[in-house]
Amino acid sequence: MDSEKLQKVLARSGFGSRREMERWIEEKRININGVLATLGDRVTPLDKVSLNGKLVELVFAGAEPRRVLLYNKPLGEVCTRHDPEGRPTVFDALPPLKQGRWIAIGRLDINTTGLLIFTTDGELANKMMHPSARIDREYAVRVLGEVDEEMLDRLKKGVLLDDGMANFTDVQFFDGEGANKWYHCVVMEGRNREVRRLWESQGLKVSRLKRVRFGPVFMPSDIKVGTWKEMDRKACNLLALEMGLEQDTSRVVRTPIQRAADERLHKKQRVRQSADKERVVRQEVKQKRKTGKVRSVGKRNAR
């Protein structure tokens, strides 16, 4: 039975990048068959691997395909798996996995919408997020205020922010009249609120912000807000090749039953969106009742 390097299998299983897995091994967080793992160890499907004392399921080469989801993030969702404040997270909307876990490629703040990419492949996620990859991110932004050419030149040449110099590699007028105008701008980093802070450094207010592209991946027009769509194998392989990774050679083929299950999940997305809207409305009404800004009207007893 063929064996693989432990850190490679863990990365494929969605626990992180190979480098991160190597660090976990050095930190003595991983056991193989009850024995502390060391760098260079190899595993097979017969081995039992535990992380922080808990058994984990591993995905070996050819066992599961590399999966990539494109998600159109709505306002009000946070990019964490569990939020201590109880706010909805982007992971709540994703389809469940039998093995591994979804890894978010990059983040968006709670008030930013648009393209989020998720994958089951830790190596792909690491390649796309690492600064050395120099992957650009494109945003559509609506700003309030007067914008002139000198201002755009400053934004492209560089502005000193609290955490250092930052700039747009490109910024172009897109649409709009009057005080509110839409621009498309590109940044090469994923620094916290970088796009907002760049515009605000010029005395402008950002009223809407949406990511429309992450590297070679564009937001498809058929993905509605709050819903996801999975890349097919050909698109996944093209993305992997651009990132310098091997193509997916797994032998797994989705059956008609699995495809039907996927279709049901897509239908549930629309139901989930409606439920989210109702939940938001209920929370707003509840808050207004607490502040005395709305009168509570009780239900009449049915007779």
Cβ atoms of 61 and 3 within 8 Å: the answer is: no
Structure-block tokens of residue 10: 């863990």
| Contact (Cβ atoms closer than 8 angstroms) between residue 178 and residue 142 | no
Locate 29 and state its tokens.
């967080």
Report the C-alpha gap between 216 and 172 in whole angstroms.
19
109 is catalytic: yes
User: Is residue 290 classed as helix, strand or coil in its secondary structure?
Assistant: helix
* CA pseudo-torsion sign 119, 125, 128, 129: positive
Q: Which of 2, 47, 92, 109 is catalytic?
A: 109
Sign of CA dihedral 274, 275, 277, 282: positive
Beta carbons within 10 angstroms of residue 139's beta carbon: 24
Q: Answer whether 104's CB lies under 8 Å from 116's CB.
A: yes
Q: Return phi, psi of residue 105, to 5°.
A: -95, 100
Question: What DSSP line would sit under 2-59, residue for residue?
Answer: --EEHHHHHHHTTS--HHHHHHHHHTT-EEETTEE--TT-EE-TTS-EEETTEE----
Active-site residues: which are they? 109
